[in-house]
Amino acid sequence: MSTRTDQVARVAGLLGGRSNVAIHGAPGTGKTWLADSVVDSLRESEVQILRVDLSISHSGAEVFNELLATSEGERPSEDEDGVSVFGAWRRLREALVAAGRPTIIVMDEFDAVVRYADSVDFLRLSRELVHRPSATTCVGLFVSRRSLESVEEIVRGISTLATLCYQEYMRPVSADDIRSSFPLAAALSEEECLHCLNWSNGHPALVRYWLSVRPDCVGNPDGVSQKILAMDRLVDYLDALRLVDAAAQLVIGPVVDDWIRERGQLDELGVLRVDGLSIGVSYSDCAVFVDLLRRRTWDLNPWGILGRAEVQLRGLIEQIQVEHDGEGWAERSQQRAICAVYDRSVAMRDDDIRRLGRGASWLAYTYPGDLWNIISVNWSRFCEVFSRGDKQYWRERFEGMARYRTPMAHNRFETVTREDRALCRMYADDIIRAIGDWREG
């Protein structure tokens, strides 16, 4: 199990091996703490460490001047204010080469570069500064909320600095992290530590709140407002990284896109539970986070969840009907509703065979209305599955799905309002949940 202590050692090892590192994470997840810990672990070495916070600077030239002054042990003089970003970079580079001493430049709040007037040149020159450590003896530790790639793309439209860095993401803390990294947790028992972890879902800001307030001891309210604040900032962060839609599908479901890269980022950020790498919690385990994510994406294209509901319903119908009537139940059925659905579906399947050379199972050609007709005439067989409501309750949900199914399947989204989309997702989710509960029970 990887801990924050392991992460400190890993980042320090990469920097000591003359590699560049970029640290990313949501607000309050410990990016600056990690950078501080790495710097502290390297202080006894012969490495020179220069640090600058880009959020309190106004230009790239000012950042380079600040780094130069820090390396020389003095404050920048007023006449340096008018130096161009090229001049400031050249003077810094010359000083580093002349010193001949291994140097680590720590640039905190690197996202701030997007508001610099000279940001394009600053990014290019920063890359040049750390691109050849054998020449400049310099490597970089970049700390930012956004990935370096997204920062560069905002400013320049292309990304080159990011390719020079190993990426480190701030995941939720583990139980071991709580005890080793938070002074207030030093005296906690193992049970109390796990309680803190489960309450906070490993979010460092919530861990600090729990340790300071100890709601388990003083009867304090459960801190829902604090959770909402922390998790809302996390959703805002995912939105800024264009990861909200991917998170909604991977956390709430269903997955209707190939989110390979996005899944990896969400894994690294601790949004998803990673098999074999789990620290015991993930943000997706937090009900407040899931609710905020769901509310933020109500108008997400619901066709995926409609398709998932259809597939699960077809499987359910086949399973239950075969259990009662055996294989070939539809061909032998004497029920008029089932005969009508079967004949229509077989006709569509045969048309596929003529046009495409092959077809799927006849059930694959059914629609929500067809599926309800089969369930309705055999309600006594299916009522156990759909026990969370009477027959009329479920009829409304199937009819709602049928109403929105065609425009969603054929990408005519403009015909369905935002409220309709939310209702559609609710209906489909209700059906999927009922089937899932029945299978698990």
In this predicted structure, the answer to whether residue 162 has a pLDDT above a threshold of 50 is yes
Q: Are residues 14 and 164 in contact, defined by beta-carbon separation less than 8 angstroms? A: no
Using CA atoms, how far apart are residues 104 and 70, in angstroms rounded to an integer? 12
Residue 384, Cβ density class (10 Å: 0-12 exposed, 13-18 middle, ≥19 buried): exposed
The string of pLDDT tens digits covering residues 3-18 is 888 999 999 999 988 9
Share of the chain above pLDDT 90, in %: 47
Cis bond before residue 215 (omega within 30° of 0): no
Closest to 382 (Cα-Cα) out of 308, 321, 305, 309: 321
What are the E-state strand segments in 291-428? none
Residue 301 pLDDT > 80, yes or no?
Answer: no
pLDDT at 438: 92
pLDDT in tens, 191-227: 889 899 999 999 999 999 999 888 777 665 567 888 9
Q: For 22-45, what is each residue's pLDDT tens digit? A: 999 988 899 999 999 999 998 877
Is the CB of residue 7 less than 8 Å from the CB of residue 137?
no
Residues 6+ apart with CB under 8 A from 160: 124, 127, 152
Average pLDDT over residues 179-195: 88
**pLDDT 10s digits, 75-99:** 555 445 557 899 999 999 988 888 8
Backbone region of residue 108 per phi and psi (left: phi > 0; alpha: psi in -120 to 50; beta: other values): beta
pTM of the model: 0.67
Q: What is the pLDDT of residues 60-69, one digit of tens each?
A: 999 999 999 8
Q: Does the pLDDT at position 275 exceed 60?
A: no
Q: Report the percentage of the chain scoring pLDDT > 70.
A: 90
* Mean pLDDT score, 135-151: 88
- Most distant CA pair in the chain, distance: 95
Contact criterion met (CB below 8 Å) for 145 and 111 = yes
Give the list of residues 6+ apart from residue 302 with CB closer than 8 angstroms, or none: 404, 408, 421, 424, 425, 428
279 pLDDT more than 70 = no
Tell me what pLDDT residue 44 has.
77
Alpha helices in 109-252 (DSSP H): 119-131, 133-136, 148-155, 175-181, 190-200, 204-213, 215-218, 224-240, 244-251
Query: Mean pLDDT in the chain?
Result: 86
Instruction: Answer positive or negative: Cα dihedral of 52, 58, 64, 68.
Output: negative
| Confidence bin at 277 (pLDDT 50/70/90) | very low
Q: What is the mean predicted confidence (pLDDT) over 130-151?
A: 86
Domains of the chain in sequence order: 4-169 (3.40.50.300), 175-296 (no CATH), 303-440 (no CATH)
CA distances from 116 to 67, 151, 293 (A): 17, 12, 32
pLDDT at 296 over 50: yes
Structure tokens at 195: 């309680």
pLDDT at 276: 43
**370 pLDDT above the threshold of 70:** yes
Confidence of residue 52 (pLDDT cuts 50, 70, 90): very high
